[in-house]
């Protein structure tokens, strides 16, 4: 059930309705130890304020109006209400996004911040710090904002080249933004018919069976990891891909073993029959011998007379016993024949009830590979790069509710978030110097003959992608145009985490047509590849635009391969897949096409993070942790100033519970703004 009213608003804010969070306890120590009544008052004020905000996120929720609207007795301690209001505002639970301001932003600036990168996280942190009264400059290398949110727009065609899906509505900050900005959210129809490598539809029943097998395999992998603690092979951590292939091999082996056992059963039954036939043959021979014996005895029979009384008796006795032996043998033969018949039937039954020949036919395996490709898409990497133990560590934080796409293009969100912030486009940061006194950021202006500019500030927020950070901490300078130097170098713990966590890849091919030739009622259809290795190549087509646009996904191994192939070849591959499915004559030439290459994009260097083999969720925390400059030798420096962090980090790769998403990147921006305010603006 979906909550509404105050409970709904608290749920939407990702907070527990009737409990203080550890963060709240830390910020309100007086309440935390005040007993049940104090807790109740706090929760009531906090929940009421959240409700007021979620109900109307288009207008700033000021302290004054909140206090006025609070029912007695909760308005009786204005100071507490003010503290709760400030807490919620500082930590991005109220008054975030784009809304009408009722109270002016402090005009005296309380410190200067450079935000590096104008992706969704940089814009979030910029917006927040700006409204907290800090002086904010955002430096962005591209000639646009949004980073990995990038919308292709031409004529009536709209297609998202980066993020495209708002994954779940309840608890998602994008839901609040959608009320503030004109986001046209359209639920995705999840049904996804599959077409085989030959272009023919995969029968629904077959599809269901393989999907169930896919889910069983994932469950088995989870069991292996979490119940049997099979996470290391020798000293090496195991990947999800290894575990899955291992389970498939085991299943295959189990089938082979069953088949071997079955063969043994057949051989045993056949051996019995052969032995039985030998026995039958011996019986028949004995019958023949006895018959001959009897015949000769009868032939030689001597009539009875007075002088042969004894020999006559013995002759009759021999004939009689031979007759009895013969009758016994004939009976035995009849019984043996019945037994033989039974044995034949048994053999037939064994032969007919053999186990299946293989665990998966080669065709079934390819359908299974389609599901693996889909998983490789979600994780932006091959399954054998994912940590078996931690790949799905964020599962519990998935939002519930519809998955939706932004029909008017996702870029409307970052564009709206530029409101009132000083953003310097075409400014590629080259060097980040940080000391106990502040930061100096050297940026190259890519428009004005590459002139260098130095920006000084109290602190910097680095939202460079994990891919760009990886280039910065590995010594690959010479190869890459976008190399950012940290001075002093980032501390070792940060560098190690940057190296450990994975940064994946995912590409899209946009095909704009003059008419729809696919089923207009389905948002998705899948194409089963013809080999395991190519399973991610255009495995899924999206039709979500109101114009005739298809979006093909290239995931897994194929995502990297397409980057070194020309557009013509890639479009050609798409067209042949589509013609295979819909028929040569039904598929027109596309009017416009776009192929993404996120790995080669120097400002991204990939698509999004994943938990690689050897990494874990805690690496996200390390990537989020701010950096304090090494202790200064300057004796005039106060100890307090020395301990202030000067480098802060936000972005999709810094948020353990919501990584690899737009909402996660956005929340990381809100988080860092709160953290910076706590360090630099004091406690309200
Ligand atoms: O890359 P950013 O947008 O990262 P973020 O803020 O963490 O958001 O911003 C970094 C900025 C960029 O603007 C760079 O140009 C800039 O830094 N920069 C520099 C610089 N070097 C870099 N600026 C100055 N100087 C320098 N030297 C790729 C992709 C992603 C997703 C999906 C599909 C694809 C193909 C679909 C999807 C999705 C989601 C989705 C991930 C998000 C990403 C977020 C990061 N998706 N997320 N639903 N993502 O599967 O929620 O459907 O895009 O997490 O945008």
* Cα(628) to centroid(ligand 1), Å: 26
CA of 148 from ligand 1 middle (Å) equals 3
- CA–CA dist 199, 53 (Å, integer): 51
For the CA of 118, the nearest atom of ligand 1 = 13
User: What's the token pair of residue 519?
Assistant: 């089923």
Ligand 1, residues 151, 162, 415: which to mutate, most atoms within 8 A of Cβ?
162
Could you identify the atom of ligand 1 that is nearest to the CA of residue 603? Answer: 22
- CA 460, CA 116: separation in Å to the nearest integer? 7
From 684, 88, 218, 173, select the one nearest 417 (Cα to Cα): 173
- List of residues 6+ apart from 648 with CB closer than 8 A: 125, 459, 460, 461, 462, 626, 672, 675, 676
Residue nearest to atom 16 of ligand 1 (CA): 117
Nearest CA, atom 21, ligand 1: 603
Q: Which pLDDT value is given to residue 222? A: 96
Atom of ligand 1 at shortest distance to CA of 507? 35
Give me the pLDDT at residue 448, please: 85
Closest atom of ligand 1 to 482 CA is: 27
In 10 A of CB 192, how many CB atoms?
17
- Give the atom of ligand 1 at the shortest distance from the alpha carbon of 652: 7
What's the 3-state SS for 76-132? CCHHHHHHHHHHHHHCCCCCCCCCECCCCCCCCCCCEEEEECCEHHHHHHHHHHHHC
- Dist. CA 400 → ligand 1 center (Å): 23
Residue in 147, 552, 601 to alter for ligand 1 test, most ligand atoms within 8 A of Cβ: 147
In testing the pocket of ligand 1, which one of 127, 148, 447, 556 has its CB within 8 Å of the most ligand atoms?
148
What contacts 433, CB < 8 A, 6 or more positions away?
Answer: 439, 440, 441, 442, 487
Residue ranges lining ligand 1, Cβ < 6 Å = 116-122, 139-142, 147-149, 162-165, 167, 428-429, 463-465, 468, 482, 484, 506, 508, 598, 603-604, 607-608, 651-652, 660-663, 665
Rounded distance between C-alpha atoms, residue 599 and residue 475, angstroms? 18
| CA-proximal residue: ligand 1, atom 36 (nearest) | 163
Which of 161, 163, 470, 536 is the best mutation target for the ligand 1 pocket, counting ligand atoms within 8 Å of the beta carbon and taking the most? Answer: 163
* 411 Cα to the center of ligand 1, angstroms: 11
Q: Whose CA is nearest to atom 9 of ligand 1?
A: 119
Test site for ligand 1: of 115, 117, 455, most ligand atoms within 8 A of the Cβ: 117
Strand partners, 120: none
Give the position, in ligand 1's atom list, of the atom nearest the Cα of 463. Answer: 10
* Cα 631-636-641 angle, rounded to 5 deg: 50
509 Cβ contact partners less than 8 Å away, ≥ 6 residues apart: 538, 551, 552, 554, 570, 571, 574, 593, 594, 595, 596
Among 146, 662, 664, 667, name the best residue to mutate to test ligand 1's pocket (greatest count of ligand atoms within 8 A of Cβ): 662
Max CA distance (Å), the chain = 154
From the CA of 195, how far away is ligand 1's center (Å)?
A: 32
ipTM here: 0.99
Quick check: 573 and 537 in contact, CB under 8 A?
yes
Atom of ligand 1 nearest to the CA of 484: 27
How remote is the CA of residue 664 from the centroid of ligand 1, in Å? 11
Distance 149 CA to ligand 1 centre (A): 6
pLDDT value for 684: 60
Q: Looking at residue 680, what is its pLDDT?
A: 94
Which positions of the chain have pLDDT values less than 70? 1-2, 475-480, 632-642, 684
CA of 681 to the centre of ligand 1 (A): 29
At 479 the pLDDT is 62
**Predicted pLDDT of residue 111:** 94
Query: Helix or strand or coil: residue 431?
Result: strand
Return the pLDDT at 357: 81
Nearest alpha carbon, ligand 1 atom 4: 119
Instruction: State the distance from the centre of ligand 1 to the C-alpha of 609, rounded, in angstroms.
Output: 10
- For 165-175, how does the pLDDT look when each residue is reduced to its tens digit (9 = 90+)? 999 999 999 99
DSSP codes, 498-516: HHHSEE---EEEEEE-SS-
- Give nearest CA residue, ligand 1 atom 40: 163
Ligand 1 center from residue 102 Cα (angstroms): 32
Distance from residue 109's CA to the centre of ligand 1 (Å): 30
- Report the atom number in ligand 1 closest to the C-alpha of 653: 7
């Amino acid at each position: 059930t979906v909550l509404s009213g105050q409970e709904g608003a608290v749920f939407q804010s990702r907070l527990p309705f009737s409990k203080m969070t550890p963060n709240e306890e830390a910020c309100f120590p007086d309440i935390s130890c005040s007993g049940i009544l104090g807790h109740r008052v706090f929760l009531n004020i906090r929940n009421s304020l959240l409700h007021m905000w979620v109900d109307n996120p288009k207008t700033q929720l000021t302290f004054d109006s909140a206090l006025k609207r609070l029912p007695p007795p909760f308005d009786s301690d204005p100071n507490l209400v003010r503290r709760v209001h400030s807490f919620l505002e500082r930590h991005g639970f109220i008054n975030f996004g784009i809304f009408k301001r009722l109270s002016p932003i402090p005009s005296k600036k309380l410190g200067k911040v450079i935000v590096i990168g104008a992706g969704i996280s940089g814009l979030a942190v910029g917006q927040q710090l700006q409204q907290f009264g800090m002086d904010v400059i955002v430096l962005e290398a591209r000639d646009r904002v949004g980073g990995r949110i990038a919308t292709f727009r031409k004529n009536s065609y709209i297609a998202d080249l980066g993020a495209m899906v708002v994954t779940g509505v309840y608890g998602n900050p994008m839901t609040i933004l959608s009320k503030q900005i004109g986001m046209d959210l359209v639920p995705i129809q999840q049904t996804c018919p599959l077409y085989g490598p030959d272009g023919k539809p995969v029968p629904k029943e077959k599809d269901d069976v393989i999907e169930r097998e896919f889910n069983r395999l994932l469950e088995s992998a989870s069991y292996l990891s979490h119940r049997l603690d099979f996470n290391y092979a020798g000293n090496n951590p195991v990947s999800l891909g290894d575990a899955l292939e291992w389970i498939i091999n085991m299943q295959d082996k189990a089938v082979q073993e069953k088949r071997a056992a079955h063969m043994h059963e057949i051989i045993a039954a056949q051996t019995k029959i052969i032995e039985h036939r030998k026995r039958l043959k011996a019986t028949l021979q004995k019958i023949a011998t006895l018959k001959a014996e009897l015949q000769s005895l009868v032939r030689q029979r001597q009539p009875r007379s007075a002088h042969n009384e004894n020999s006559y008796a013995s002759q009759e006795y021999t004939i009689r016993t031979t007759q009895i032996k013969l009758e016994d043998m004939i009976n035995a033969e009849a019984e043996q024949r019945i037994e033989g018949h039974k044995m034949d039937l048994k053999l037939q039954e064994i032969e007919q009830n053999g186990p299946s020949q293989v665990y998966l036919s080669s065709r079934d395996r390819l359908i299974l590979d389609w599901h693996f490709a889909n998983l490789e898409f979600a994780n932006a990497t091959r399954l054998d790069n994912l940590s078996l133990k931690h790949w799905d560590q964020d599962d519990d934080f998935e939002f519930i509710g519809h998955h939706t796409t932004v029909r008017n293009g996702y870029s409307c969100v970052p564009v709206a978030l530029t409101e009132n912030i000083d953003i310097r486009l075409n400014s590629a940061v080259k060097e980040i110097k940080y000391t106990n006194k502040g930061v100096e950021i050297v940026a190259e202006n890519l428009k004005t003959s590459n002139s260098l500019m130095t920006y000084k500030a109290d602190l910097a927020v680095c939202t460079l992608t994990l891919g760009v950070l990886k280039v910065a901490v590995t010594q690959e300078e010479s190869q890459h145009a976008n190399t950012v130097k940290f001075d002093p170098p980032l501390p070792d713990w940060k560098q190690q985490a940057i190296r450990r966590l994975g940064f994946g890849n995912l590409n899209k091919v946009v095909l704009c047509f003059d008419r729809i030739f696919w089923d207009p009622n389905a948002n998705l259809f899948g194409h089963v590849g013809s080999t395991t290795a190519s399973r991610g190549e255009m495995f899924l087509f999206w039709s979500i635009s109101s114009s005739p646009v298809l979006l093909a996904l290239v995931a897994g191994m194929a995502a990297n391969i397409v980057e070194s192939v020309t557009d013509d070849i890639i479009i050609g591959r798409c067209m042949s897949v589509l013609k295979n499915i819909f028929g040569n004559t039904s598929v027109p030439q596309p009017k416009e096409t776009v192929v993404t290459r996120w790995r080669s994009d120097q400002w991204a260097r990939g698509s999004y993070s994943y938990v690689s083999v050897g990494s874990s969720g805690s690496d996200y925390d390390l990537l989020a942790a701010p950096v304090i400059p090494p202790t200064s030798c300057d004796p005039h420096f106060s100890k307090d100033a020395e301990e202030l962090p000067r480098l802060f980090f936000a972005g999709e790769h810094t948020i353990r519970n919501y990584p690899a998403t737009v909402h996660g990147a956005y929340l990381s921006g809100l988080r860092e703004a709160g953290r910076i305010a706590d360090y630099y603006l004091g406690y309200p």
